[in-house]
Amino acid sequence: MVEYNKPIPKIEFLSNKLPVADPSDEPMVYMDDKFICNSWYNKWPEDNLKPLPGSSPSIMCRKTVFEMVEKAEQLLPEGYKFSIYDAYRPVAVQQALWDYYRAKKVEQFPDATPEEIDYQTMFCVSFPSYNILLPSLHNTGGAVDLTIVGPDGQELDMGSDFDEFTDRAWTTYYEPGGEGEGTNDAARDNRRMLYNVMTAVGFTNFPSEWWHFDYGDEKWGLFTDNAPIYGGVLDAEVRDTVPYNNMELVREANAKQQEIVKQIKELRAECKAIDEEVAAVMRG
């Protein structure tokens, strides 16, 4: 039994980069076949509900992540369900988000250097990586953004909007000792419910975003002291993808990198077999 109202611990924000040494071949699956889904970037509020290039009305994630979200939803009180904003994110969407928020930072800090602008932009969105062994979180299919819907069909009050990049978005903002302590106890309790059911099944939370949870990606690896499981997928060819510039080039690059990773795995297996053979001979 999950303790819904257990306080959310304050977690140190870890920002090191962990490369994916041995990426899993686990498939992506569609979340909208099971869950309430609101594909945020296919109806993007920042641009009058227009879809971002590369977005889709469907949402995908890794098969294990799907199963974990399913288990977490079963832990919610009767009548409560998840609403999924985003999970797997094609690199074209990541690039579009980066370009948008970076342009806003240029306006906000007109005298800043390009490096300073990049640094400020990373508080809103991860840098779009085209290297599948150094992927951004959502590009792995291991990250999921979600909230809780009550029996009345309405999203619970979480104390800030989704994708609101303010202090209020930090998961522990309303907790004791947080800046918002005592200002919205309903939001505090709702965040606790979301956090506690998700972490109960093995997810970690991204500390600056109450809605963001990870499994198998870099941040999950850092917070659990494990090696990341999932590499990036530049374009999983989600159904009804909105076309974007150089789409075929990106898909070709993805296929080439995936083939290289496959070859690396085969070579490792050969090396292991040779190692075991030599060891057996030496042991006599």
SS3 129: coil
Does 247 score more than 80 pLDDT? yes
User: What is the pLDDT averaged over residues 92-110?
Assistant: 95
Round to whole Å and give the CA distance between 209 and 172: 9
Contact 83, 149 (CB under 8 A): yes
User: What is the pLDDT averaged over residues 95-124?
Assistant: 94
Tens-place pLDDT, residues 134-143: 999 999 999 9
Q: What is the dihedral of CA 261, 262, 268, 273, to 10 degrees?
A: 180
User: What is the pLDDT averaged over residues 247-270?
Assistant: 94
Query: Across the chain, what does the average pLDDT equal?
Result: 95
Q: What is the pLDDT of residue 13?
A: 78
Choose among 191, 196, 201: nearest CA to 66: 201
Kindly indicate the confidence band of residue 124, based on its pLDDT and cuts at 50, 70 and 90: confident
Q: Are strands 143-149 and 81-86 parallel, antiparallel or unpaired?
A: antiparallel
Tens-place pLDDT, residues 232-244: 999 999 999 999 9
Query: What's the pTM value of the predicted model, to 2 decimals?
Result: 0.93
Domains and their CATH numbers in the chain: 28-245 (3.30.1380.10)
Round to whole Å and give the CA distance between 136 and 257: 16
Kindly indicate the confidence band of residue 284, based on its pLDDT and cuts at 50, 70 and 90: confident
Contact 41, 89 (CB under 8 A): yes
Kindly indicate the confidence band of residue 248, based on its pLDDT and cuts at 50, 70 and 90: very high
Of all residues in the chain, the percent with pLDDT exceeding 90 is 90
Q: What is the pLDDT of residue 33?
A: 87
Of all residues in the chain, the percent with pLDDT exceeding 70 is 99
Round to whole Å and give the CA distance between 17 and 37: 30
Dihedral sign (CA 156, 8, 66, 53): positive
Does 119 score more than 80 pLDDT? yes
Tens-place pLDDT, residues 13-63: 777 677 898 999 999 999 998 999 999 999 999 999 999 999 999 999 999
Contact 169, 176 (CB under 8 A): no
User: What is the pLDDT averaged over residues 196-221?
Assistant: 97
Contact 159, 173 (CB under 8 A): yes
